[in-house]
Copies of this chain bind each other. A is one copy, B any other.
Amino acid sequence: MFMHVQRLINEIVPDEPDPAAANALQEGLGGQFGEMRTMMQYLFQAFNFRGATGKPYRDLLYGVGTEEIAHVELIATTISRLLDGSPQYKGKATKPVDEPGKGGATPLSIALDHSNIHHYLVGAQGALPVDAAGNPWSGSYVYNSGNLVLDLLYNLMLESTGRLQKCRIYEMTDNKTARATIAYLIVRDQAHENAYAKALESLGINWGATLPIPKTNAEQFPEVKKLLDQGLHLKQYTFSADNLSEAGKIYRGTAPASMDGGELTTQTAPEGFPMDIAVERPEEFGPGLDPELLALVQATAELELKDADDPLVAAKKK
């Protein structure tokens, strides 16, 4: 079973909307080497795991797999924030649709030549389960051979490729929202490389100076360097609510995928950061509860919903 915590695993740093950056980040969400894939791959490997003596390996897969769900949440929310408001539509919030067509106005014209048109047409300025070229995520990406050594080797290659692609995305944009999330995921990928490389070390491989693959010298990216200095690439969370995870039996000792050979440690979970909720976008006909529905809800269901005086709501409306 899984539990949800209403905190994001990393902070969404504010900056201007940027649909092109949002689209590049889609590769990290729904791409062949993105977070949906790592999530599903590690969970399937954990569900189908064989051999009770290998429980620490299974628990490692469960821990990283559970973290990847939080990464899916983080990168999807980041994409959503990068898209949100990009059309710069100034319709009044009190009217669900502010006469968009009057006089030939085209509030969504941005969709025709920015990002993936589906971000505005199929979704409502939100993340999609597709890659940066628009291909939907596919179950055929998931690798689970049933042979532990092969699965670990694939996972190492998968994390390395994910990191390689994120380093390239970092170089594509200087939007702060995009870079903060990407930098965080680069360092976490390196932590996961350490996890799988260490597991393979326990099975006899000596990586020499090969790892990390690729040697991106990523510490030269300022946001990445800051996190490396904090040792975020040397820590693994178990996300084990009942603390039964034995992943720490593997994730300890010297880090193989690290150029300075730090010591690996585990902890249950990071503290996280507050989540907020995006505003409504009338030009997408994307109301949640517009005032009319809100009144209806309060009348028929007697729900005690937050009203406009709520500070969170008020803050978002500015």
A138: chain B residues within 8 A (beta carbon): 136-140
Given contacts A3-B5, A278-B48, contact A210 B204 (CB under 8 A): yes
| Cβ-defined contact, A205 with B205, below 8 A | yes
A14: CB under 8 A from chain B?
Answer: no
> Smallest CB-CB separation from A9: which chain B residue?
B1
In the complex, whether A255 has a CB less than 8 A from a CB of chain B is: no
Number of chain A interface residues as a range: 35 or more
B residues less than 8 Å from A49 (CB atoms):
277-278, 288
A171 / chain B contacts, CB cutoff of 8 Å? 100-101, 105-109, 283
Question: Can you pick out 19 interface pairs between chain A and chain B where the beta carbons lie within 8 Å of each other?
Answer: A1-B4, A1-B70, A3-B269, A6-B245, A7-B242, A48-B278, A51-B280, A52-B310, A53-B294, A53-B305, A101-B224, A106-B171, A117-B132, A121-B165, A147-B164, A147-B284, A147-B285, A148-B288, A200-B210
**Contacts A69-B2, A147-B286, A205-B206 known; A173 to B50 CB distance under 8 Å?**
no
| B-facing residues in A270-318 (Cβ within 8 Å) | 270, 272, 276-281, 283-289, 292-294, 296-297, 300-301, 303-308, 310, 312-313, 316
A96 to chain B, nearest CB (A): 6
- Least CB separation from A156: chain B residue: B153
**CB proximity to B under 8 Å, residues A191-205:** 200-205
Contacts of A13 in B (CB 8 A): none
Contact check, B121 vs A48: say whether CB atoms are below 8 A apart: no
Mark out the residues of chain A between 41 and 65 whose CB falls within 8 Å of any chain B CB in the assembled complex: 43-44, 47-58, 62-63
Q: A107 to B204, alpha carbons, bound, how many Å? A: 30
Q: What separation, in Å, do the CA atoms of A2 and B73 have in the docked complex?
A: 9
A202/B278 in contact, CB under 8 A? no
**A227 contacts chain B at the CB level, 8 A cutoff:** no
Q: Please give, as numbers and ranges, the residues of chain B lying within 8 Å of A179 by CB-CB distance.
A: 101
Enumerate chain B residues within 8 angstroms of A286, measured Cβ to Cβ: 50, 145-147
Q: Is the CB of A201 within 8 A of B300?
A: yes
Q: Which B residues are CB-close (under 8 A) to A276?
A: 52
A228 part of interface (Cβ distance < 8 Å): no
> What residues of chain B lie closer than 8 Å to A53, measured between beta carbons?
288-289, 294, 305-308, 310, 313
